[in-house]
């Protein structure tokens, strides 16, 4: 039997191209649904540019930016405990923005003012 090697090669190429198109179509659908949900959420909340601190994932921001030094449960580590902080909001904000000791400063580009307020509330409630 004389097998033609080009047919399996073409079959693999077409299946690969089809898979790429299928996956790229699924990815764009997910993003579109997320955008629609975001737009609907902003309309329901009054459509203003300002969002309440309830819209901010303070715990996620804290885990990404604070947990490495202040501990996964924010009870202290290399840095002091943040859970149940006794700092007033102004001192907290100044410390985060300007840094203190070995703590680095975080600019508004790194942590927005709204996120900073949500972080303060998150740590105060713990």
Question: Is 80:70 a contact under the CB 8 Å cutoff?
Answer: yes
Of residues 26 and 78, the one with the higher pLDDT is 78
Tokens standing for residue 37? 């949900």
Q: Of 126, 119, 109, which is closest to residue 64 (Cα–Cα)?
A: 119
pLDDT value for 10: 87
* Domain annotation covers residue 50: no
Q: Are residues 22 and 59 in the same domain?
A: no
CATH number of the domain residue 88 falls in: 1.10.760.10
* Domain annotation covers residue 2: yes
Q: Are residues 71 and 103 in the same domain?
A: yes
pLDDT value for 1: 56
Q: Tell me which residue range forms the domain holding 27.
A: 1-42
Domain count, the chain: 2
Q: Is 124 assigned to a binding site?
A: no
Say what the pTM is. 0.55
Cβ of 91: how many Cβ atoms within 10 Å?
13
Q: Are residues 36 and 61 in the same domain?
A: no
Q: Is 78 assigned to a binding site?
A: no
Categorize the per-residue pLDDT at 98 as very low, low, confident or very high, splitting at 50, 70 and 90: very high
At 25-62, the pLDDT tens digits run 765 544 445 444 444 444 444 444 444 445 888 889 88
């Amino acid at each position: 039997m004389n097998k033609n090697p080009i047919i399996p090669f073409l079959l693999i190429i077409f299946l690969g191209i089809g898979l790429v198109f299928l996956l790229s179509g699924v990815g764009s659908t997910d993003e579109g649904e997320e955008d629609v949900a975001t737009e609907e959420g902003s309309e329901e909340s009054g459509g203003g540019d300002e969002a309440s601190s309830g819209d901010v994932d303070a715990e996620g921001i804290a885990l990404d930016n604070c947990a490495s030094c202040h501990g996964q449960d924010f009870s202290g580590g290399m840095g002091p405990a943040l859970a149940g902080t006794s700092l007033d909001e102004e001192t907290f904000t100044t410390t985060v923005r300007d840094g203190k000791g070995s703590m680095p400063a975080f600019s508004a580009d790194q942590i927005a003012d709204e996120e900073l307020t949500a972080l303060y509330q998150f740590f105060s409630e713990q």
